[in-house]
């Protein structure tokens, strides 16, 4: 589902005010447990892929080949990985078991949001959020549960890191969308590398000596590390680098002046 179709779908749902509460819980005691983990059209954000790959300890190319159907946003050209459902009756999620989600601690953001939909757009003063309630006929999670506001639900589902990264990604796509034309193929491939293949992006950083080209020496050690924080830092750097390559400028990353640009001593 592209961004415009996704927004249209969300706006067809009941909207929740920021402080308004809803009642919902999902656990093995709910009769429909696991029913929502099948026949999904589930796009994976860069941060989703980061978390899943890290838990599964898989190289990016293997992860994509195994779990992804790769599509592209029509208006921007950005890669849009979709989670590949298993073939067979019900087309279940590849990560679901009878006991529940096998990657629960690193499950995708869309799974964490449910049953909320988050409509985010770039406003004059930053990201503007709207919240929608997704009620499916089979879902019994609304029958008994804890009353929470959208903010309380997001805190309970540990969505802060997902939202921060996804909002940064949304800003980057909105900048490209504003040009009125999608990325050319070379930049699409660069986007795939920087956003969804952090292991290969680190190889690129080393081979091209990127840190010798930009004013970001204080970021080098963390970006090239091996931890969740390092992967988050590498993704941030990848989005900054992609913006710098596409537009020639980025508010959080600057090129070093070439020797010919430096004034004589």
pLDDT tens, 183-208? 999 999 999 999 999 999 999 999 99
Q: Is 208 helix (H, G, I), strand (E, B) or coil?
A: helix
DSSP state, 36? T
Task: Give the whole-angstrom CA distance, residue 102 versus residue 118.
Answer: 24
Name the more confident of 219 and 88: 219
Task: Give the whole-angstrom CA distance, residue 50 versus residue 229.
Answer: 11
- Residue in the block written with tokens 């990985």: 81
Task: Give the whole-angstrom CA distance, residue 192 versus residue 72.
Answer: 10
Task: Give the whole-angstrom CA distance, residue 132 versus residue 8.
Answer: 12
DSSP state, 251? T
- The pLDDT tens digits for 97-142 are 989 999 999 999 999 999 998 887 777 777 888 899 998 888 999 9
Strand partners, 119: 130
* HSE-up (13 A, CA, CB side) for residue 107: 20
Q: Is 147 helix (H, G, I), strand (E, B) or coil?
A: strand
Give the sign of the dihedral formed by CA 239, CA 242, CA 247, CA 252: positive
Q: What is the pLDDT of residue 226?
A: 95
**pTM flag (> 0.75):** yes
Percent of the chain with pLDDT over 70: 93
pLDDT-derived band at 1 (thresholds 50, 70, 90) equals very low
Is-contact 146 25, C-beta < 8 A?
A: yes
- Give buried/exposed letters for 228-258 (b at 16+ CB in 10 A, else e): eebbbbbbbbbbbbbbbebeeebeebeeeee
- Residue 251's closest CA among 208, 213, 215? 215
């Amino acid at each position: 589902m592209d961004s415009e179709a996704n927004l249209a779908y969300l706006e067809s749902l009941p909207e929740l005010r920021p402080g308004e509460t809803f009642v919902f819980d999902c656990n093995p005691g709910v009769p429909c447990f696991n029913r929502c983990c099948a026949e999904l059209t589930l796009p994976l954000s860069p941060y989703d892929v980061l978390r899943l790959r890290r838990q599964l300890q898989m190289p990016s190319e293997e992860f994509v080949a195994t779990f992804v159907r790769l599509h592209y946003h029509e208006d921007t050209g950005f890669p849009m990985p979709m989670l590949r459902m298993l073939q067979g009756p019900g087309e279940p999620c590849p990560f679901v078991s009878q006991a529940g989600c096998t990657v629960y601690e690193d499950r995708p953001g869309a799974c964490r949001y449910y049953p909320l939909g988050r409509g985010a757009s770039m406003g004059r003063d930053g990201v503007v959020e709207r919240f929608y309630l997704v009620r499916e006929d089979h879902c019994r999670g609304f029958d008994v549960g804890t009353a929470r506001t959208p903010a309380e639900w997001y805190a309970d589902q540990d969505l802060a890191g997902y939202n921060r990264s996804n909002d940064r990604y949304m800003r980057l796509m909105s900048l490209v969308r504003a040009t009125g034309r999608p990325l050319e193929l070379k930049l699409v491939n660069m986007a795939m590398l920087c956003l969804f293949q952090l292991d290969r992006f680190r190889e690129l950083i080393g081979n091209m000596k990127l840190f010798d080209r930009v004013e970001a020496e204080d970021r080098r050690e963390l970006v090239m590390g091996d931890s969740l924080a390092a992967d988050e830092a590498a993704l941030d750097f990848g989005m900054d680098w992609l913006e710098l390559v596409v537009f020639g400028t980025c508010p959080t990353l600057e090129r070093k002046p070439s020797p010919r640009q430096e004034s004589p001593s």
